[in-house]
Chain A
Amino acid sequence: MKLQEIIALIDGEVLTKTDSLAREIKGGCGADLMSDVLASIQPDAVLLTGLCNPQVVRTAQMADVAAIVLVRGKKPPRETIELADQENIPVISTPYGMFESCGRLHRAGLPSLENTVG
């Protein structure tokens, strides 16, 4: 699914200077604990999270996350946006909560890219 479609599905607002809205997103992952993200996410996913500090961007970079969606209408601090711009990772804000956002994307056919952690 194209990032552009994901943004439309969750009424998202792009917060970064992103020029890669045509980027193909393979699936999604929702988590608020960064270690959970690092443990379970597969490359090229969109990460839905309620955290908005710069560590989210670092985590995304380490885990090859394609885009970050901040749920519940969160507006991140400036440092987060600056780092995301620098690393070229799009950050999108959605007014919907975590469950609603994940649900909308999953229903539209975006698969889960969360590994089952055993």
Chain B
Amino acid sequence: MGNDTQPKQRIVTDAEAGYITRVEELAYELRIQEVMTRDVKTVSPDMQMGAVLEVFRRARISGAPVVHKGRLVGIVSIEDLIHALRGGDVAAPASEYMSERVITVKSSHPVIEALKIFTQEKVGRLPVVDDEGKLVGILTKGDITRGLLRALQSDYQEEELKKYRVSHLFADIASDRTSLILRYNVKARDFAHGGRASSDIKRALMRLGANPQIARRCGIAVYEAEMNLIIHTTEGGVIQVEIEPHQIVMETTDTGPGIEDIELAMKPGYSTAPEEVRELGFGAGMGLKNIQRCVDAMTLESTPGKGTRLEMRIYLQPDEAFSGAAHAREGKAQ
């Protein structure tokens, strides 16, 4: 049992099963009534097995609930039909070959409940009943797969649409030089929110359609810079990111205390971070070195007592540029 023969009701393949694992959440969110087949073909207990075969063939199904006076009394499957055919017993009533033990699911329950039953019991389909116990549909693994894929696709389309809209920003707006500026205020010693700005920046870049490698380099560099503002500044600072089709410029500025010896600060392993910061896994004296490794150009200016400005630039190669960049350049060349 459990193997549907019609192409319409195919079995869950390994690839789909893998997909389902990732969308387990959806299996909890989706209700059975959202994925079930509503048009249920039923048979009566006194219908001859030969007639049952005809119903299956016409409707292209491999099983049907047996209903007597509006009440669910059993379920008959293609395997039961094979038994009857093998014995040349096609004139026997369905009640003789059907399984009387019927497991049903409620239409208002989450899909996961049905999935659990499918893994525990050897059944190919589950009649679906409403809260009053009335038969309202039927559910196969194929219905679940299709329902989940449909829900997944609409999630995906939504994100794609968002991405599409944002990534066309540069193409849709005409100017001699278009850029998008993001600003974040970072508080000193605010370890609890450390990295939040960087996380938002990385997400924004991904939405804009940045190549993952570029988003990663920007994320790491700006994260180290953000942590520096939190660890070292007296009053926090500001992160500004300017995104243009051909480059990303990230800048952090603060009002002090400033760096006494920039050359020494750049030296790997040199750190002035206090013990509590080291306990968080920071302050190893690698931050600026890491930033330098991730960006194409880095400028560090500091005046003791006044403040520090760190500029990090990443140049985008033509194949990495945000969509619309080529269009913008063409426009400029004219």
Q: Which residues of B contact A33 (CB under 8 A)?
A: 281-282, 284, 286
The CA of A55 and the CA of B198, in the complex, are separated in Å by 12
Known: A19-B25, A21-B21, A53-B280. A39 touches B195 (CB 8 A): no
Contact B281 A53 (CB under 8 A): yes
Interchain CB contact (< 8 A) of A64 among B23, B216, B280, B293: B216
Contact B281 A32 (CB under 8 A): yes
Q: Which residues of A contact B23 (CB under 8 A)?
A: 19
The CA of A53 and the CA of B280, in the complex, are separated in Å by 7
Q: Which residues of A contact B290 (CB under 8 A)?
A: 35, 38-39
Contact B25 A79 (CB under 8 A): no
Stretch at the interface among B140-148, B217-225, B255-263: B217-225
Interface size on B, residues (CB 8 A): 31
The CA of A87 and the CA of B202, in the complex, are separated in Å by 12
Q: Which residues of B contact A38 (CB under 8 A)?
A: 220, 223-224, 286, 290
The CA of A49 and the CA of B199, in the complex, are separated in Å by 21
Q: Which residues of B contact A8 (CB under 8 A)?
A: none
Contact B280 A79 (CB under 8 A): no
Contact B282 A58 (CB under 8 A): no
Provide the B204-221 mask, 1 if CB < 8 A to any CB of A, else 0. 000000001000100110
Q: Which residues of A contact B198 (CB under 8 A)?
A: 58, 62
Known: A38-B223, A38-B224. A62 touches B22 (CB 8 A): no
Chain B nearest CB from A54 CB (Å) reads 7
The CA of A36 and the CA of B282, in the complex, are separated in Å by 9
Tell whether A14 is near chain B: CB-to-CB under 8 Å.
no
Interchain CB contact (< 8 A) of B282 among A19, A22, A35, A64: A35
Chain A nearest CB from B26 CB (Å) reads 9
B23, B216, B223, B224 interface centre (most CB from chain A within 10 Å): B223
Q: Which residues of B contact A87 (CB under 8 A)?
A: 199
Chain A nearest CB from B159 CB (Å) reads 13
Within 8 A of B (CB), among A54-73: 54-56, 58-59, 61-64
Contact B199 A58 (CB under 8 A): yes
B18, B191, B220, B285 interface centre (most CB from chain A within 10 Å): B220
Interchain CB contact (< 8 A) of A20 among B22, B199, B285, B287: B22
When C-beta atoms are compared, the residue in chain B nearest to A87 turns out to be B199
Contact B21 A63 (CB under 8 A): no
Within 8 A of B (CB), among A12-45: 19-23, 32-36, 38-39, 43
The CA of A53 and the CA of B24, in the complex, are separated in Å by 28
Contact B220 A55 (CB under 8 A): no
When C-beta atoms are compared, the residue in chain A nearest to B24 turns out to be A19
Contact B220 A34 (CB under 8 A): no
Contact A62 B281 (CB under 8 A): no
Contact B194 A58 (CB under 8 A): yes
The CA of A35 and the CA of B287, in the complex, are separated in Å by 6
When C-beta atoms are compared, the residue in chain A nearest to B202 turns out to be A62
Query: What are the 10 closest A-B residue pairs judged by CB atoms, nearest first?
Result: A58-B195, A35-B286, A34-B281, A19-B24, A62-B219, A22-B21, A33-B284, A51-B281, A62-B223, A35-B284
- Given A19-B24, A33-B281, A33-B286, 9 more pairs with CB closer than 8 A: A19-B23, A38-B286, A43-B212, A51-B280, A55-B194, A55-B280, A59-B195, A62-B219, A63-B219
Chain B residues near A (Cβ < 8 Å): 18, 21-25, 191-192, 194-196, 198-199, 202, 212, 216, 219-220, 223-224, 227, 280-282, 284-287, 289-290, 293
Chain A residues near B (Cβ < 8 Å): 19-23, 32-36, 38-39, 43, 49, 51, 53-56, 58-59, 61-64, 79, 87
